[in-house]
Amino acid sequence: MKQELNLKEISQWELYKSRPLTICGPCSAESEQQVMETAIELAKLKKVDIFRAGIWKPRTRPNSFEGVGREGLKWLRDVKKETGMPTAVEVANASHVNDALKFGVDVLWIGARTSANPFAMQEIADALNGVDSMVFIKNPVNPELNLWIGAIERVAKAGISKIGAIHRGFSAYEHIQYRNQPKWLLPIELKRAIPKIPLLCDPSHIGGAKEYLFELSQKAMDLNYDGLMVESHINPEVALSDREQQITPVQLNDLLNKLVLRDSVSNNLAFSDTLGELRTQIDLYDSQLLELIEQRMFVVKTIGKYKKENNITILQSSRWEEVMQKAVLQGELKGLSKEFINSLYKAVHQESINHQNRVMNS
């Protein structure tokens, strides 16, 4: 219980001057020239808060470019001197943390492959003890909320107060439109567990291709995220990693200019009144929905009793198929998507089976 309290106390530290906080720069530091040229162009935009570059690259397969290592930390130190932008690197073990801090890196982030590994997270947390840097924790590659919370918890317990989370999507086995599945509900659940944690979106690693960056960034802004981490390279075509998803500083400027930023609260009284009324209606419908489902479950339990008395199985596939088909057709007429009806009915069906199971085995 105490741990949960700790997390709720993570406060919205002074994160940024204006929303969104932007952490931008190349996927990887490749050469002194590439790093400096990219940084100078990004600094000119006056929209990038923190300059990022990967120094140690966790690659899925060996023999890919695995980063320039410590050498790159000097380039980042020069970037800070030249442009004034604070710098950020990814750290995956204690020696990365120590090296990065030695070279004056301001912001550390923990990648998706590392946050999935509690041993690595603990090693990093121990190395962070007593340090006063900003630390961002990306979601683990697998969609497990508690693993993400656990990684944050380890860093918080090391005494780091400026902690943020980065949503970069989750690995997918099947081929999907994006490189990673966004699963927007997970970061929303994270905010429910740790309400004040600053949340950034990484559209580059979710999308995996330039053309998706804007729609993903806009969605993050509409969901009230605090910031964005976007990969930007002076010459993406020759990038040594994540070539398809990197954009030039000029393209980044366009993307940031195009974003529509909406307020999460309003001072306009008439607006708040109307919104309040509409929300009351939503609350009413929501409670009716639950009452209906409750009534459905009463009937389900009665059927369960009959099945038990007559020694019939709970699941009857043909009946279930029929219910689902009817619902999809009816849903379509009401403007509800097939995907929605499918997942709604699967959930209702599963709950019904659970109820019947209890009746049958009582």
Q: Return residues touching Mn ion (CB under 5 A).
A: 27, 242
Least distance to Mn ion, CB of residue 246, Å:
8
Return the one option of ligand PEP, Mn ion, none that residue 111 interacts with (CB less than 5 to 8 A, by type): ligand PEP
Residue (of 90, 102, 161) closest to 130 by Cα position:
161
Question: What is the residue type of 62?
Answer: P
Q: Which residues pair with 231 in a beta bridge?
A: 25
Nearer of residues 153 and 202 to ligand PEP, judged by Cβ: 202
Q: Determine the straight-line distance between the first and last CA of the chain, rounded to whole angstroms.
A: 33
Catalogue the long-range contacts made by 79-83 (C-beta closer than 8 Å, 24 or more residues apart): 79/35, 79/36, 79/39, 79/51, 80/51, 80/104, 80/106, 82/36, 82/39, 82/40, 83/39, 83/40, 83/42, 83/43, 83/51
B/e letters for 22-45, b = 16+ CB within 10 Å, e = fewer, are bbbbbbbbbeeebbbebbebbbeb
Residue 208 in tokens: 């995996």
Sign of the Cα pseudo-torsion (271, 272, 278, 282, in order): positive
Least distance to ligand PEP, CB of residue 246, Å:
10
Return the one option of Mn ion, ligand PEP, none that residue 138 interacts with (CB less than 5 to 8 A, by type): ligand PEP
Binds ligand PEP by CB under 6 A, chosen from 167, 168, 179, 355: 168
Nearer of residues 235 and 266 to Mn ion, judged by Cβ: 235
* Interface with ligand PEP: number of residues (CB under 6 A): 10
Site for ligand PEP in 280-319 (CB under 6 A): none
Establish if 210 lies at the interface with ligand PEP (CB under 6 A): no
Q: Which residues pair with 170 in a beta bridge?
A: 181
Q: Rounded to an integer, what distance in angstroms lies between the CA atom of residue 352 and that of residue 298?
A: 10
Binds ligand PEP by CB under 6 A, chosen from 23, 27, 29, 76: 27
Nearer of residues 67 and 198 to Mn ion, judged by Cβ: 67
Site for ligand PEP in 39-78 (CB under 6 A): 54, 58
Least distance to Mn ion, CB of residue 209, Å:
12
Nearer of residues 49 and 242 to Mn ion, judged by Cβ: 242
Contact (Cβ atoms closer than 8 angstroms) between residue 232 and residue 38: yes
Establish if 138 lies at the interface with ligand PEP (CB under 6 A): yes
Least distance to ligand PEP, CB of residue 138, Å:
5
Nearer of residues 229 and 341 to Mn ion, judged by Cβ: 229
